[in-house]
C-alpha cells in the first residue's frame, strides 16, 4: 500500500484517487464524494510530514467506505431512500481506527439497500457496474466497494458481510475480500442488518494489505458487546498441512469453469505437498434455508426503528402518526427490504415461531458443529465463493429465489461465525474473474490471509 511521504504527498494521493473516481463515474460506484473533507485531511497529514512529526501506518492512503458505515462525513444512507438526508452524529469504531492511522475516506460506496442482495441492483441509486464488463453486476451487497478497488481508484475499501456481501463481489471483480471471524472487527456504528451474522471486513489488492488492515481494525470494543478480545496479532500461524474440499459442492448447480478452477488449485496444492481431504458436510444444504429465516427475523427487528420520526426521510402525505409510519416505510424501503420485513415477522409470529425460527436455530447449531468436525480433519477448506461468476444486469433481480441461490456457498460461514477469504484465482474463457473461498476455524484469520499467498 502506498503511503504518503515527503515526495509523494497525501494531497497527491487523494487528488489522484478523486480524479479516478470522476473518470469512472459511469460505473455508479459512489453515493458521495468526499472531496473537501479528504483534501483537508490530506493537507493536515502533509503538514505533519513536513514538520517531521510521526504519522500513522495508513498515512494519506485513500479509501472507500461502504455507505452503511456511520460517520459525520456525508450522509449515511445505506443506499436506501428512507435514510436520505441522514447525517450521523457518531463514527463507526472501524472508521475511527482506520483514520487514526491516517487513512482518508474519498467517498461512500453504493450497496443493495440495507445490504439486502447479491448484485447491488437493489440500491435506491441504481446498480453499480462490474469492473470487467459493464453489462454485468458488481455482485453484492458491497458492489461499490469491490469495484472501487478493482478499478484501482482506492487502495482498499470497507465492506460488511452478513451472508457473502464481501466475498461474492470480491470474486466477481478479481480482488481479495475478507469476512473475518464474527466479532473480530467491531460492528459499532454500522447500520445493522442481522446482528448475529454481520461482520465488518475489507477489500484489498493483496493479502499483505489485508493483514495490515486487520492488525489495525481488530480488537475488543466496549461499544460492541459481541466484539472479541484482541486475538489477531497474537494468533499463532501454524503450519498448514491439510486442505479440505466439500464433496457436496461438486455438482451441476455450480458453474463448470468455477469447478475446474477449484480442481486446478487443489491439484497445484497437492503438488506443493499439501494433503487434500474430501469432506462430507451434509448439513450445509440446509444453510441457505436457515439463513433466509434467521436473517429476515433479525432484519425485521433491526429495521423497525425506521419510522420517519428519527432518521432521514419522512413521508409528507400523512394525516396522523400511524399513517406517518406506514407511508414513510412504504415509500422509503425497497421491495427487497419489505420482503424481508414480511418474512421476518412471519417466522417470528407466535403461530409459526416453532416451525420456522426455532427449527432454523437448531439447524444453525448443527452447522456450527459440522464446521467444528471438519476442522478436526483439515486445517482450511477451499470452496467456490458462489455458484456463478458475475451474471448479467437484470438477469436475476426479479427472481428472488434465483438471487438467494447465489448465496449457497457463502451463508454457512456467517451462521457458524467462521472466517472466509475470497481469493482471485483466474479468469473464465470470456475474461471474467473467478474467486475461490478459503475457510478457517474461528480466530484463524491471520493464518488464512497468510495461506492465501500459496494460491497465487
Ligand atoms: N446476499 C446475502 C443476502 O442478501 C448477503 C448479504 C450480505 O452479506 N449483506 O442476504
CA of 118 to the centre of ligand 1 (A): 6
Atom of ligand 1 at shortest range from CA of 115: 9
Grid cell 394525516 is found at: 319
Please indicate whether residue 379, judged by its CB atom, sits closer than 6 Å to ligand 1: no
Atom of ligand 1 at shortest range from CA of 336: 4
Q: How wide is the angle at C-alpha 31 spanned by C-alphas 27 and 33, nearest 5°? A: 95
Confidence (pLDDT) at 184: 98
**DSSP state, residue 137:** B
Low-confidence ranges of the chain (pLDDT < 50): none
Atom of ligand 1 at shortest range from CA of 160: 9
Confidence (pLDDT) at 10: 98
CA of 156 to the centre of ligand 1 (A): 21
Please indicate whether residue 298, judged by its CB atom, sits closer than 6 Å to ligand 1: no
Say how many residues make up the chain: 456
Please indicate whether residue 161, judged by its CB atom, sits closer than 6 Å to ligand 1: yes
**For a substitution probing ligand 1, which of 160, 402, 407, 410 has the most ligand atoms within 8 Å of its CB?**
407
**C-beta neighbour count of 309 within 10 angstroms:** 11
Please indicate whether residue 162, judged by its CB atom, sits closer than 6 Å to ligand 1: yes
Q: How far apart are CA 265 and CA 454, in angstroms?
A: 10
How far, CA to CA in Å, does 248 sit from each of 113, 138, 400?
Answer: 32, 27, 23
Confidence (pLDDT) at 436: 98
Atom of ligand 1 at shortest range from CA of 165: 8
Atom of ligand 1 at shortest range from CA of 197: 8
* Cis before 141 (ω within 30): yes
Q: Which residues participate in catalysis according to the annotation?
A: 66, 141, 165
Please indicate whether residue 336, judged by its CB atom, sits closer than 6 Å to ligand 1: no
CB-CB contact of 235 with 446 (8 Å):
yes
How far, CA to CA in Å, does 129 sit from each of 42, 165, 202, 228, 385?
Answer: 29, 16, 19, 35, 19
3-state secondary structure of 451: helix
Helices 359-377 & 287-302 angle (0-180, nearest 10): 130
Q: Phi, psi at residue 449, to the nearest 5°?
A: -65, -40
CB-CB contact of 283 with 314 (8 Å):
no
CA of 11 to the centre of ligand 1 (A): 36
For 216, the grid coordinates are 489495525
For 161, the grid coordinates are 458481510
Q: How far apart are CA 294 and CA 266, in angstroms?
A: 33
Please indicate whether residue 33, judged by its CB atom, sits closer than 6 Å to ligand 1: no
Confidence (pLDDT) at 317: 84
Backbone φ/ψ region at 131: left (φ over 0), alpha (ψ -120 to 50), beta: alpha
Please indicate whether residue 407, judged by its CB atom, sits closer than 6 Å to ligand 1: yes
Give all domains of the chain, ordered by start, each with its CATH number: 1-456 (3.90.1300.10)
Please indicate whether residue 115, judged by its CB atom, sits closer than 6 Å to ligand 1: yes
Confidence (pLDDT) at 237: 80
**C-beta neighbour count of 39 within 10 angstroms:** 17
Backbone φ/ψ region at 90: left (φ over 0), alpha (ψ -120 to 50), beta: beta
Please indicate whether residue 295, judged by its CB atom, sits closer than 6 Å to ligand 1: yes
3-state secondary structure of 194: coil
pLDDT tens digits along 175-221:
999 999 999 999 999 999 999 999 999 999 999 999 999 999 999 99
CB-CB contact of 348 with 207 (8 Å):
no
Q: Phi, psi at residue 376, to the nearest 5°?
A: -85, -20
**How much is the CA Rg of the chain, to the nearest whole Å?**
21
Closest residue by CA, ligand 1 atom 4: 117
**For a substitution probing ligand 1, which of 67, 80, 110, 116 has the most ligand atoms within 8 Å of its CB?**
116
Q: Phi, psi at residue 17, to the nearest 5°?
A: -65, -40
Confidence (pLDDT) at 250: 85
CA of 164 to the centre of ligand 1 (A): 6
Q: How far apart are CA 327 and CA 42, in angstroms?
A: 43
**For a substitution probing ligand 1, which of 112, 120, 141, 142 has the most ligand atoms within 8 Å of its CB?**
141
Q: How far apart are CA 169 and CA 157, in angstroms?
A: 12
Q: How far apart are CA 140 and CA 336, in angstroms?
A: 13
**For a substitution probing ligand 1, which of 79, 112, 334 has the most ligand atoms within 8 Å of its CB?**
112
Strands 156-161, 199-204: parallel, antiparallel or unpaired by DSSP? antiparallel
Amino acid at each position: 500500500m502506498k503511503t504518503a511521504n515527503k515526495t509523494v504527498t497525501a494531497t497527491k494521493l487523494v487528488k489522484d484517487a478523486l480524479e479516478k473516481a470522476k473518470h469512472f463515474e459511469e460505473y455508479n460506484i459512489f453515493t458521495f464524494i468526499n472531496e473537501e473533507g479528504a483534501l483537508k485531511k490530506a493537507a493536515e497529514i502533509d503538514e505533519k510530514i513536513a514538520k517531521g512529526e510521526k504519522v500513522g501506518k495508513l498515512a494519506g492512503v485513500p479509501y472507500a467506505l461502504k455507505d452503511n458505515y456511520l460517520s459525520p462525513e456525508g450522509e449515511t444512507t445505506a443506499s436506501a431512500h428512507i435514510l436520505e438526508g441522514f447525517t450521523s452524529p457518531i463514527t463507526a469504531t472501524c472508521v475511527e481506527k482506520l483514520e487514526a492511522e491516517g487513512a482518508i475516506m474519498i467517498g461512500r460506496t453504493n450497496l443493495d439497500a440495507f445490504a439486502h442482495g447479491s448484485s447491488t441492483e437493489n440500491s435506491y441509486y441504481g446498480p453499480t457496474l462490474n469492473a470487467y464488463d459493464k453489462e454485468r453486476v458488481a455482485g453484492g451487497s458491497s458492489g461499490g466497494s469491490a469495484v472501487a478497488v478493482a478499478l484501482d481508484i482506492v487502495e482498499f475499501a470497507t465492506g460488511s458481510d452478513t451472508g457473502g456481501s464481501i466475498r461474492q463481489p470480491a470474486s466477481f471483480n478479481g480482488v481479495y475480500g475478507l469476512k473475518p471471524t464474527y466479532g473480530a472487527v467491531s460492528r459499532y456504528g454500522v447500520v445493522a442488518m442481522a446482528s448475529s451474522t454481520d461482520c465488518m471486513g475489507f477489500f484489498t489488492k493483496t493479502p499483505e494489505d489485508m493483514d495490515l488492515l486487520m492488525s489495525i481494525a481488530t480488537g475488543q470494543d466496549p461499544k460492541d458487546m459481541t466484539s472479541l478480545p484482541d486475538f489477531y496479532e497474537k494468533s499463532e500461524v501454524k503450519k498448514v498441512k491439510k486442505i479440505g474440499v466439500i464433496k457436496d459442492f461438486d455438482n451441476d448447480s455450480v458453474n463448470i469453469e468455477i469447478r475446474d478452477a477449484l480442481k486446478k488449485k487443489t491439484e497445484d496444492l497437492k503438488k506443493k505437498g499439501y494433503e487434500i481431504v474430501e469432506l462430507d458436510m451434509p448439513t450445509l444444504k440446509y444453510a441457505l434455508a436457515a439463513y433466509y429465516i434467521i436473517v429476515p427475523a433479525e432484519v425485521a427487528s433491526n429495521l423497525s426503528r425506521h419510522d420517519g420520526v428519527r432518521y432521514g426521510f419522512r413521508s409528507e402525505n400523512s394525516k396522523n402518526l400511524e399513517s406517518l409510519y406506514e407511508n414513510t416505510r412504504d415509500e422509503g424501503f425497497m421491495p427487497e427490504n419489505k420482503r424481508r420485513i414480511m418474512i421476518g415477522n412471519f417466522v417470528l409470529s407466535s403461530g409459526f415461531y416453532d416451525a420456522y425460527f426455532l427449527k432454523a436455530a437448531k439447524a444453525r447449531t448443527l452447522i456450527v458443529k459440522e464446521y467444528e468436525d471438519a476442522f478436526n480433519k483439515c486445517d482450511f477448506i477451499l470452496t467456490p465463493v458462489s455458484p456463478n461468476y458475475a451474471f448479467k444486469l437484470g438477469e436475476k433481480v426479479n427472481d428472488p429465489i434465483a438471487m438467494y441461490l447465489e448465496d449457497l456457498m457463502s451463508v454457512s460461514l456467517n451462521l457458524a461465525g467462521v472466517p472466509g477469504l475470497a481469493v482471485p484465482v483466474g479468469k473464465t474463457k470470456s475474461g471474467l474473474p473467478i474467486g475461490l473461498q478459503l475457510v478457517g476455524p474461528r480466530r484463524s484469520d491471520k493464518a488464512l490471509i497468510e495461506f492465501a499467498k500459496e494460491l497465487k
